[in-house]
Structure 1
Amino acid sequence: MSNFHLNRRAVIEATLLGTAPLCALNSRAFAASCDDHIVRIGAITSPDTLNPFASWGNFWPLVFTYDWLVCQDAQRHADRKGFAESWSVADDQLTWTFKIWPGMKWSDGRPATAKDAAFTYNFFNTADPIAQGLKSGGLDYGLNLTSSQWPDLSKDPNIVTGKSRIEQRNYLAFNTASGEGAGSTKALQDPAFRDAIGYAIDQKAIVERALHGHGDPGVGLVMPVAADYFSELSDIRRNFELAEAGRRLDAAGYRDVNGDGVREDKEGKSFQLELITGSAAASVELPIASIQLIAGWLGEIGVPVSVTQLDTGAITARTAAPTKGGGGWGLFVSSNWLSPTPHDRLGSGSSKLVGTFNKSYWTNEKFHKLLYYSESVTACCRLSQVEYYHADDNCDSRRAPRPTTYVTDFLAALRVS
């Protein structure tokens, strides 16, 4: 087998000299006339910049300018060194530790450290570079902006901002699994416990304080943008009232037995709920302020919560079906994009979709039959949200293990000059 190696220096020099860079490959398999074992190949490209943070499609010049963190198959080929010398994976398969090569330097002579690798990952894990690019002129259009960026961008005379309702809903899921994958307490499986928690979440405050008004309080399973199906459901919407939440918890058997401000379960055992969270792929960012508000309110009614923030891959692993290793958490705050189809609207209660649409692991035979019926009706006689919510008491939002906390607006900005 012939081994090919692309020479980055030749590519960079050619790129800087013109629009037809010379891609140089080291190989003994090419013509004998190449005494230096380099074959020079011309290709057409128009690099706009060598700054990876400001470029979109400028792949070839950049890939030969900067090292990867880990090169392909580096553990079997000593000449394929990336930025990292070695790495290890924790037993939980969620924590990866990379050790970089010692003594590395950038072209200006400054030391190359692990902080540089961390900067790159953190840079691309936030929407702030989008706002900075719009303000500096490096970007013409930005989308999926956060509500905290909106005020500053709105004041810029060179930027036009816009927003629209979308089909994303942000929800709080309870882990209702029993046995394999169960949370820290059986209370999570109790509809009365979940109902009481609903009175301790101020959806209007989340929209006002965490989203700065760019959204709507959630109710039910349908987003306001799905106008043909949406209803305010005013007769079953909860009002935020911590005292009422406390009274309902007391009535359901979750009392503060020893007077330390923390409630015990029905068996008198103390418990703590692990709340896991993180923005799903391709979703509008979840503001951490919304998580802090929810955890704070639950703490006020004597339900202690610990918060674990995860990336997309870890979220997928932890919320997978218990049969596939998921579960163990108590609460899950996340988001998804849904269409107004019955499959999407009612899939959160389908036993066939546990670990995918059904993140709470909740199943109910009557709800499942309703889902089957709603999928069989034609568009001309489709069920509205009100109809399927009141079709059975076991299916209304007071018992739902995954209520929608709020729906967010899609924020974007265009640079006009």
Structure 2
Amino acid sequence: MANYVHVLPKHIWEKVEDNKTYTGEDSAVGCGPYKFVNVDKDAQISYYEAVNDYFYGDVTVKKVSIHSFSNHDALLMAMKNNEIDAMFDYSNPLPATLAGSIIGVKNLDSGMSPNQGHNQLTFGFNKAPTNDVSFRKATAYALDWKLLSTVTAGEYGNIPGWGVVAPSNVGYDSSIPKLAQDKEKAKAILDKAGYLDKNGDGFREFPDGRQMDVLISPQFSAAKKPLFLRYAEIIANDLKAVGVKTHLDEQIISSQEYSSKFIKSGECELFIGYTTSGKAAYDTAYFYLIKGFSPGGWPTCEDPEFYAHYSKLMNAMSRQEYLDSIKAIQKKNADEVLGLALCWDTVFFPYRTDNFKGWINYPSWGVINNSTWFNVKAK
């Protein structure tokens, strides 16, 4: 609810005419165990102090400073130099390619855990051929899943299953098989569905003979842009190998404004995006795959059975009702293929172990979490 409704103290803000420009001392309104003290813009450091009599319990960490870094290399250098104690960046962990530089280092813990979230391929349901389940299944069989996992997380990547939901999430169905590349099966599915190369140019046409050129659209993300472009390249090459022509949406990867408009337009065909760890843990990736729940207008699938299952999940009154709903959705996705996780990976949120004790490493989140402030103590 806090994502959509912002509650503000009336006695402060009822007097403010332009809340976008107001910078008075009472404008820094907090709702947690800390209050803002100061910021050093040049050093990119902000300072906080614990509030008195916090309702949740006694705060063991009395002061916190947050240091911002331009990249992960700079962050790691600061951690190794004992300038910072822990890393946090919501759903943006240390890249697996840098994991080797911290694993086994004295006084450092890699903060390794299975990722609840994942990067994913979403199929558009408003346009052909991605609104055809045969094309969607053929795409799944055409892709090199080992390569996709490797480029995502190296040795820490795992090939995902047809159910999308990662094993570290509540309700994961282990009975659903893993994805596997089978180009011949992909070709056979496309042949049977009528996608044939009728003019001999090496690419398949629509069953009615029209030219087919499928749009690949990577979501705008400065942090994930290189990886998403690599995904697009792999998907394009693998589909070309089974006779499907594609092209890259050049505009979406360079403009956040265009990306936002495109997502809401419902015009996507093959869309590369991601589900954050926080969203995956409860709402699951299907929040972005089934139309009617995301306020951003992301998904285009309006299948009534999918909608009914997901509605039950979102309104579950018991753990069992939630489990029944999410497992039903996973099994149906294995048949209908709304979307595909591109990898089930491992995340790293490193922290120092020599200055403080009592760290609790939350999966997919790291040691900076709501337990930290009430457990961590100086050694």
Q: Verify same fold: TM over 0.5.
A: yes
1:317 equivalent to 2:261? Answer yes
Measured against aligned partners, the alpha-carbon deviations of 1:29-85 in whole angstroms (never above 9, x if no partner) come to xxxxxxxxxxxxxxx9695xx754xx3228xxxxxxxxxxxxxxxxxxxxxxxxxxx
Corresponding residue of 1:223: 166
For residue 266 of structure 1, report the CA deviation from its aligned partner: 1.4
Q: 2:311 aligns with which of 372, 378, 381?
A: 372
For residue 161 of structure 1, report the CA deviation from its aligned partner: 1.7
CA contact (8 A) 1:278 1:311 kept: no
1:302 equivalent to 2:243? Answer yes
Corresponding residue of 1:205: 147
For residue 333 of structure 1, report the CA deviation from its aligned partner: 0.9
Corresponding residue of 1:97: none
For residue 256 of structure 1, report the CA deviation from its aligned partner: 1.9
Q: 1:410 aligns with which of 340, 347, 371?
A: 347
Q: Highest relative contact order (Cα 8 Å, sep 6+), 1 or 2?
A: 2
Percent identity of equivalent pairs: 18
Segments of structure 2 that go 5 or more residues without pairing to the other structure are 1-36, 48-68, 355-379
Q: 2:118 aligns with which of 160, 169, 178?
A: 169
For residue 319 of structure 1, report the CA deviation from its aligned partner: 0.7
Corresponding residue of 1:148: 97
Question: What secondary structure, in the 3-state scheme, does the structure 2 residue paired with 1:274 have?
Answer: strand
Measured against aligned partners, the alpha-carbon deviations of 1:289-308 in whole angstroms (never above 9, x if no partner) come to 33432232122222233334
Per the alignment, do residues 137 and 187 of structure 1 end up closer, same or farther by CA in structure 2, a change over 3 Å counting? same
Give, as a single letter, the amino acid of the residue that structure 2 aligns with 1:353.
Answer: F
Q: CA separation in 1, counterparts of 2:207 and 2:294?
A: 27
Q: 1:398 aligns with which of 320, 331, 335?
A: 335
Corresponding residue of 1:245: 186
> More deviation in 284-293 or 311-320?
284-293
Q: CA separation in 2, counterparts of 1:348 and 1:247?
A: 30
1:194 equivalent to 2:136? Answer yes
Q: CA separation in 2, counterparts of 1:363 and 1:155?
A: 49
Give, as a single letter, the amino acid of the residue that structure 1 aligns with 2:207.
Answer: K
Q: 2:320 aligns with which of 381, 400, 407?
A: 381
Per the alignment, do residues 128 and 267 of structure 1 end up closer, same or farther by CA in structure 2, a change over 3 Å counting? farther
Q: CA separation in 2, counterparts of 1:201 and 1:217?
A: 11
Q: CA separation in 1, counterparts of 2:232 and 2:85?
A: 32
Corresponding residue of 2:273: 334
For residue 173 of structure 1, report the CA deviation from its aligned partner: 0.7
Larger Rg: 1
Give, as a single letter, the amino acid of the residue that structure 2 aligns with 1:398.
Answer: D
Q: CA separation in 1, counterparts of 2:287 and 2:187?
A: 31
Per the alignment, do residues 397 and 151 of structure 1 end up closer, same or farther by CA in structure 2, a change over 3 Å counting? same
Q: CA separation in 2, counterparts of 1:376 and 1:352?
A: 14
Q: 2:45 aligns with which of 26, 38, 56?
A: 56
Question: What secondary structure, in the 3-state scheme, does the structure 1 residue paired with 2:120 have?
Answer: strand
Q: CA separation in 1, counterparts of 2:351 and 2:137?
A: 43
> RMSD in angstroms over aligned alpha carbons?
3.5
CA contact (8 A) 1:354 1:361 kept: no
Per the alignment, do residues 204 and 232 of structure 1 end up closer, same or farther by CA in structure 2, a change over 3 Å counting? farther
Give, as a single letter, the amino acid of the residue that structure 1 aligns with 2:144.
Answer: D
Matched length? 286
1:129 equivalent to 2:74? Answer yes
Question: What secondary structure, in the 3-state scheme, does the structure 2 residue paired with 1:194 have?
Answer: helix
Corresponding residue of 1:100: none
CA contact (8 A) 1:173 1:359 kept: no
Per the alignment, do residues 270 and 259 of structure 1 end up closer, same or farther by CA in structure 2, a change over 3 Å counting? same
> More deviation in 264-273 or 158-167?
158-167
> More deviation in 186-195 or 286-295?
286-295
Question: What secondary structure, in the 3-state scheme, does the structure 1 residue paired with 2:155 have?
Answer: coil
CA contact (8 A) 1:276 1:332 kept: yes
Question: What secondary structure, in the 3-state scheme, does the structure 2 residue paired with 1:334 have?
Answer: strand
Per the alignment, do residues 396 and 295 of structure 1 end up closer, same or farther by CA in structure 2, a change over 3 Å counting? same
Q: CA separation in 2, counterparts of 1:130 and 1:247?
A: 49
For residue 241 of structure 1, report the CA deviation from its aligned partner: 1.1
Per the alignment, do residues 416 and 234 of structure 1 end up closer, same or farther by CA in structure 2, a change over 3 Å counting? closer
After TM superposition, the score normalised by the length of structure 1 is 0.58
CA contact (8 A) 2:266 2:298 kept: no
For residue 286 of structure 1, report the CA deviation from its aligned partner: 4.7
Q: CA separation in 1, counterparts of 2:225 and 2:76?
A: 15
Per the alignment, do residues 157 and 175 of structure 1 end up closer, same or farther by CA in structure 2, a change over 3 Å counting? same
Give, as a single letter, the amino acid of the residue that structure 2 aligns with 1:247.
Answer: A
Give, as a single letter, the amino acid of the residue that structure 1 aligns with 2:306.
Answer: F
